[in-house]
Amino acid sequence: MDTIVLQDLKNIVSPERVIYKEPLSKHTTFKIGGPADYFVITKKVEETAAVIQYCNQRNLPILMIGNGSNLLISDAGLRGVVVKQEDNTKEFIVTTCEEGYLVTGGAGMNLSAFAMKIANESLTGFEFAAGIPGSLGGAVYMNAGAYGGEIKDCIRSARVLSKEGDILNLSREELELSYRSSMIQKKGYYVIDATFLFQKGEKEEILSKIEELNRARKEKQPLEYPSAGSTFKRPEGYFAGKLIMDAGLRGYRVGGAMVSEKHCGFVINTGDATAKDVLQLIDDIRRIVKEKFGVTLEPEVRLIGEKAMES
């Protein structure tokens, strides 16, 4: 342990919000991941910017996480600093404009909670996101989507922190949102908050649509197990889950990691899976699907950590 780094981080944020060797399995929906050298919880944008600037000065690796819903972190954990943003989690601002209603939410806000707040304002256009796990910042980072909707369909702008800790305002066009991708990923930026455009609708119809989509998720997806959501991106002209099922891999497992029997597009943690188990399972799936159908599956889950990337 570098006591100087530990003390410096405690001076930037409250001491109780800096944890040495925090297990990252506690902070991912996969419930997998070794310890972070330094785990820091930020409550304000200024704190997040100060931590980023400090890490740059000390040449410390830094990873920003939200709800950890799309991450597979190495069993060896992560060197450097992991920052969990809880700043702006309560931020929710609605204003009017000529085109409709602008809604701004903080990056740390739970995406489902954000969607329900929008619905309770009788605003329509975000129903698709009500059941997506994760934070608003993570959703913007990866242009999250489901049931025919994507973040890019309704976002107007986002404020981000650069790698140097500077605040930038990016328009929808500048965000370069595409399928599970954004300029934020490419540049290594960190989302502060985002603003969306919605229209007025009938509150009962909006809530009914959300209930319908959540019921479909519960019926079709293995929500009872830890996972990182859809494991693979949708290959052009195919569905990853169907390719995996047709390859005879339903229920296929490596250690504690298994292809869900309910939806083959999900790799689940049956209780004691390691990152190594999941990575081996992902490799097996990709190899077998490629052999049988000539289709290369690309992981949608972010593989984080030196050991994970080498596997």
**Residue 307 predicted with pLDDT over 70:** no
How far apart (Å, rounded) are the C-alpha atoms in residues 280 and 274?
10
CA gap 23, 32 in Å, rounded = 9
Residue pointed to by tokens 């399972």: 281
Distance CA 298, CA 311 (A): 15
Nearest to 255 by CA among 238, 275, 235: 275
Rounded distance between C-alpha atoms, residue 267 and residue 257, angstroms: 7
Kindly report the average pLDDT of the chain as a whole number: 93
**What whole-number percentage of the chain has pLDDT above 90?**
86
By annotation, the residues acting in catalysis are 180, 230, 300
Q: Which of 186, 70, 205 is nearest to 127 (CA)?
A: 205
pLDDT in tens, 26-67: 999 999 999 999 999 998 889 999 999 999 999 999 999 988
In whole angstroms, give the CA distance from residue 304 to residue 77.
9
- Distance of alpha carbon 287 from alpha carbon 279, whole angstroms: 12
Question: What are the structural domains of the chain?
Answer: 3-85 (3.30.43.10), 92-217 (3.30.465.10), 222-310 (3.90.78.10)
- pLDDT tens per residue, range 202-252: 999 999 999 999 999 999 999 999 999 999 999 999 999 999 999 999 999
The pTM of the full predicted model, rounded to 2 decimals, is 0.88
What single-letter DSSP state applies at residue 213? Answer: H
Q: Collapsing DSSP states into helix, strand and coil, what is residue 234?
A: coil
